[in-house]
Structures are given as structure tokens and as C-alpha cells.
Structure 1
Amino acid sequence: MNASQDKVDLMKSDKLYYQAPQHPVTVELPELAYLSIEGEGSPDGEGFASSAEALYKAAYSAKALSKAAGQDYVVPRLEGLWWVDGNRNGLEVPKEEWRWKLLIRLPDFVSEAMVETALVQAAAKNKDNALIGKVSRTLLKEGTCVQMLHVGPYATEPETLGAMYAYMKREKLVHNGLHHEIYISDPRRSAPEKMKTILRQPVDSES
């Protein structure tokens, strides 16, 4: 198998992005491309599940086109940006009011034109999921970030966030973007206490 046919796995090749220790660290990230879909409501709700399904349909359509063009890859892990409207603490807001943008990262060799074709094909093949029409290509440049690996159920994330915020205070860093999660583990296959999630927060120096 020649190099052009090797399957790219970003989880293995981009360790800075997909690996984090169980203590806060600062990293610098470039502008990257993603497939994305935006929505609101509880992550346990049907809207979230249907949006994630639509995003994966689009991601595998893009993978198929790229493979046909000579460059195959492993579809990366699901990610999410999270926020709430207004100047409120997201942890104190009902889940039904949470807003989110789900992401799946795209390798550099998947062009914008390829994504456009993939989205058209995915919509045509999956007419029962109209949410595919909401999927789009997104560029995200988070720059300087604090990140940490959270091990355990999603419900205990505030403990990890507390460690991150304490680190930010010591390093004189402030929030400069949306809360970002990378779901390393598949919740359908992992015990809650063994779940791994990278928590990431874009930051800037205190003015």
C-alpha cells in the first residue's frame, strides 16, 4: 500500500489535540476545519441525538468521497461547543436551555468543494433526516487554550472545570471563547466511571 492509500487517523497523528493529562495545561491550536451543526436543548434529548446522527451521516459521506479520491481516513471523535444565552452560569441553567454546536474535525486534505458535494449526497441518501441540511463546514481558531482530561461521568465535570479555573486564575488567564468538549470515549461502550473527555477552554491574558 503506498502512502496515498494509507488511512489517516488524526487521533494518532495529532496528539496535542486529542491527548491531555489529568491536570490543566496550556496549548496553542491553529485554525482547523470541521463539519458542524448547531442546536439547543438537553444533550439527553431527541434533538441532540438527531443532530449528532445527521453530523455523522455527513462525516461518512465526506470520508467516502475522500477515499474515492485516494485518501482514506478515520472519522474523528465527536466534539461539542457549549454555552447559554445571557450572562449566566451554564452549570446553574436547566439543560433544556443549553446551546451547543456539535463538531467533527476534517483532515486538511478534505477540500471545501468536497464537503459541499458530500453534504448534497448525504441529504439525498438520508431524506428521513432533514437535519443534514443544517450541517455545514466551519473554521475554528481557538488559539491559546487550557485543557485537561476528565475521567468519569459527565455529571462530575464541574470538578475538572474547577481545577482548570484555579489554574487559569494562577496563570492570570481569562475566558476567550466557548467551552469545548472532545468525547474520546463512546458512552454506549464505556462504563461511566471510565469515560474520557477532553475539556478545553480558549483563554487570553488578563488585561
Structure 2
Amino acid sequence: MKMAFDYKKEYKEFYLPPKTPGIVTVPAMNFLAVRGHGDPNEENGAYKQAIGLLYAVAYTIKMSKMGSHKMDGYFDYVVPPLEGLWWQEGVRGVDYTRKKDFCWISMIRLPDFVTKAEFDWAVQEASRKKKLDCSPVEFFTWEEGLCVQCMHIGPYDDEPATVAAMAEYAKAHGYTADFGENRFHHEIYLSDVRRCKPESLKTVVRHPVRKVEHV
């Protein structure tokens, strides 16, 4: 039996980096995305609702093979992990003590066969079937470019130590942080927070960098 295509295994350089920092260049990809702001831990808050919408559309696309709507070029695949872009106004990087000030884009990678037209169909179909308003979900193309990244093991609130190690590595190799428009603190969630102990959570942490120009 043919195994479903798994982006995490096929693109290990993006989803399964080592626990020591490294430099990576991330190409353009298409995502399902929902934008919002506020504390992600808020019970029934905007972030939790956004995740529900993303998965409703993501699984509508994945399970389309079971229905009458056939997508050209469809192949069986594992739904890629949830990801998040995070920033705060006036902050370089993120301040973990000010969660209520977070702006975020929550997202799930789309397989290449999903065109904008197929995306539009999936949003309408998910809204109809799940009786949800999935209209906040957008088709988001994003090219991340040059970054430093690392696998973080443990609670999200312990990430500053990993971020510090990434910054140190980048500096030692001639790079500097490059936060700005479309350049954000990026997390990829490889663990289900509902089923995993905080100390065992696996999260890819990625920061934009640029090469330092020596005069």
C-alpha cells in the first residue's frame, strides 16, 4: 500500500531540524491562514477559533477524494503541522510576557495541487458541512527566505533560551536578525499540546536573518 506523502519526512530540513541552530533558506509555499491578535491561551479566544477554522478547511481538502469533487493532481498526504507567525507592535522579535499584545497569522501548508479555485471551493464546502463561517481563512503565499532555526523541546515559555542560542549562532556565522514587514518570529508545532507533556513539546523556532555586510 502506498504511503501518504508526509511533508515533515520529505522536507526534514524545514520540519525536523536538530536541537542545535542552523541556517536555512525557505522557498515560497502556499498556506491556509487566519490572521488575528490577542493571547493565544485565552479559552475560546480568537486564536483557538482560528485553529478550528484552519483544520475544518484543511480536512475538507484532504478528504475531498471521498466525494464527488475531484481535484486535479490530487495525491494522498498527511495534513502538515500547524504553524504560527508572531509579532508585536514596536517589538523586535517577541516579548513572551505580553501575550495579549500578540499579532499572529496561524497557518497550515497547502499541497501544491491546491489552486486558488480549489481553495475557494474548500472554504465554501467546509462552511456548509461544518456549519461554520470559514470566510476568515485566506489563501496565503509566503516566501520566508534566509532564516536561523532550531528544534525547541519543552514549554513555549522556555523558548527565550532557544532564541538566544539562535541569535548567538547567527552572529557567530556572520548573520543578524532581520525582523520587519513579512519577516516574523515563526513557530511550527510538531506536538499536540492536548496530548503532550509540556516538557516534551517539539516546536521548530525560526527567525529571519540577513548576512552582515562588512565595510
The answer, yes or no, to whether TM exceeds 0.5 is yes
Partner of 1:34: 31
Is 1:75 paired with 2:79?
A: yes
| Partners of 2:4 and 2:91 in 1: CA distance | 44
SS of residue in 1 equivalent to 2:135: helix
Counterpart position of 1:175: 177
Q: Which residue in the other structure is 2:89 paired with?
A: 85
Per the alignment, residue 4 of structure 2 pairs with 7
Deviation digits for residues 137-169 of structure 1 (CA, Å, limit 9, x no counterpart): 111111111100000011100000010011122
Look up the equivalent residue of 1:38 and give its one-letter code: R
Amino acid at match of 1:134: P
Give per-residue Cα distances to partners, 1:66-92, cap 9 Å, x unaligned: 564452211111000000012456316
- The residue matched to 2:141 in structure 1 has which SS? strand
SS of residue paired to 1:29: strand
TM-score, normalised by the number of residues in structure 1: 0.91
What amino acid sits opposite 1:71 in the alignment? Answer: F
Deviations 1:159-198 (A, max 9, x none): 0001001112212322231010000111111111111100
Whole-angstrom CA distance in 2 between matches of 1:92 and 1:55? 24
User: Could you tell me whether the CA contact under 8 Å between 1:35 and 1:106 is conserved in 2?
Assistant: yes
- The Cα shift of 1:20 comes to 0.8
Matched, 1:17 2:14: yes
Question: Does residue 124 in structure 1 map to residue 128 in structure 2?
Answer: yes
TM-score (norm 2): 0.87
CA contact (8 A) 1:65 1:114 kept: no
**Which residue of the partner structure matches residue 152 of structure 2?**
150
Equivalent position of 2:64 in the other structure: 65
Q: Flag the structure with higher helix content.
A: 1
Deviations 1:39-65 (A, max 9, x none): 001110121111110111011112123
- In percent, how many aligned pairs have the same letter? 39
Task: Note the residue ranges of structure 1 that are not aligned, 5 or more in a row.
Answer: none
Residue 26 (structure 1) shift:
0.5
Q: For residue 44 of structure 1, what is the aligned residue in structure 2? A: 41
Give the Cα–Cα distance (whole angstroms) in 2 for the partners of residues 87 and 19 of structure 1: 28
1:192 to 198, 201, 206: 198
SS in structure 1 opposite 2:46?
Answer: helix
The secondary structure found in structure 2 opposite 1:91 is coil
Q: Name whichever of 106-115 and 140-149 sits farther off.
A: 106-115
CA RMSD in angstroms, aligned pairs only = 1.8
Q: Which moved more, 1:149-158 or 1:10-19?
A: 10-19
Q: 1:62 to 1:92 in 2, by over 3 A?
A: closer
The answer for unaligned runs of 5 or more in structure 2 is none
